[in-house]
Amino acid sequence: MAGVNHAVAAVASDAAGNAEKEEYTTIQNGAWSRYDRPSLAARRIILALFFLLVALPVIGMLYFSFRSTDGGMTTSHWAELFSSAAPRALRMLNRGLGNSLAIVLVTIAIEYVVVIPTLVLLDVRFPRSRRWMRVLMLLPIAIPAIILVVGYAPVFSFIYQWISTSQWTLAFAYGIISLPFVYTTIEADLMGMNAATLTQAAESLGAGWLRTLWSVLLPGLRKSIVSCTLITAAISLGEFTIASLLNRETLQTDLIVISQSDVYLSVVVTLIILILTFVALFLVSGAGAQRRPGHGTGGRKRIPQGQEAAEVAEAAGSADVSDESRHA
């Protein structure tokens, strides 16, 4: 059995190596010369414009939070956070923030348990479904949120009656509006790693579907899964229309209520939440971008993608064979 495993792994490695050589030859021949990377100055200009575009709204909010009603500058709006009138608004925000965090966690759990495995299964087992899946995944973006609420209303009336009336049930709606972003991110990585070939190699070596999904496919989707997590969290924290029309209390609905009585306090709180959210997202993205030992290009020898995939598939198959031997 070990000889067969090594033979299949060698064939997969040779095929992937030949493909990489052909791609390298094509690039050397100048077929992709028009897609060469821009110069260092052009990259710096593009990055500077991008960061300026992102920073302008934050700078405007920061300036507005220090502006007084007579046109001067003051720190009294920040001092109101510690005044006697602020605790009531902060208690309201605590409820809304707690509800939003619960919705984020449930939505991410839905993506992990249901959406991502289903998308991988459809891509590997039913590749012809990609065409209509791409069209179907655009519907949550193409249909306005106010129209989606009309369809959500009878569904949520059933959920409130038979499951729960808690705020976390909004996660079912947020999971749907996050689908287009999750699908495009996962599909790009699946096509790049040639998931169907890896699955066939792992199964030919004796690995089952769960072992293939857990040991072969999901490790290759690590970066896209982290991206999906960040996108889902951002959508769940920032969505207002569906929560408001379904009469749910979240962070965004509470911020709107506070802004009706004190717009400066709502801007100050929004800035604090925005900074904390940026820090949390950077920490999560940094943790997801860490490379395992032996992988990467920073001063270490790069393992060809086909050879690495073959080694992973062989390891998954050998693990399943060893499990069967222990049970026998």
Question: What domains appear along the chain, each with residue ranges and CATH number?
Answer: 2-17+84-292+300-311 (1.10.3720.10)
Q: Calculate what percentage of the chain has a pLDDT beyond 90.
A: 6
The chain-wide mean pLDDT, for the chain, equals: 76
Q: How far apart are the C-alpha atoms of 139 and 129, rounded to whole Å?
A: 16
Q: At how many degrees (to 10) do helices 179-193 and 195-204 cross?
A: 60
Q: Please state the pTM of the whole predicted model.
A: 0.70
The whole-number pLDDT of residue 320 equals 52
The whole-number pLDDT of residue 286 equals 67
Q: Is 98 exposed, middle or buried (0-12, 13-18, 19+ CB in 10 A)?
A: middle
The whole-number pLDDT of residue 151 equals 85
Residue 132's closest CA among 183, 178, 176, 181?
183
**What SS3 state is found at 67?**
strand
Highest mean pLDDT, choosing among 124-128, 150-154, 174-178:
174-178
Higher pLDDT among residues 104 and 91, named by residue: 104
Q: How far apart are the C-alpha atoms of 202 and 216, rounded to whole Å?
A: 8
Cross-strand pairs, 73: 67
Residue 85: which pLDDT band, with cuts at 50, 70 and 90?
A: low
The whole-number pLDDT of residue 188 equals 84
Instruction: Please check the confidence at residue 86 and state whether its pLDDT lies above 60.
Output: yes
Residue 258's closest CA among 245, 243, 270, 271?
270
Q: How far apart are the C-alpha atoms of 139 and 142, rounded to whole Å?
A: 5
**In the numeric block, which tokens belong to residue 69?**
């009603």
Q: What φ, ψ does residue 67 adopt, rounded to 5°?
A: -90, 135
Q: How far apart are the C-alpha atoms of 7 and 10, rounded to whole Å?
A: 5
- Structure confidence by residue, pLDDT tens digits, 306-323: 455 555 555 555 555 445
Higher pLDDT among residues 201 and 28, named by residue: 201
Q: What angle do CA 67, 69, 72 make, to 5 degrees?
A: 50
What's the whole-number mean pLDDT along residues 66-82? 80
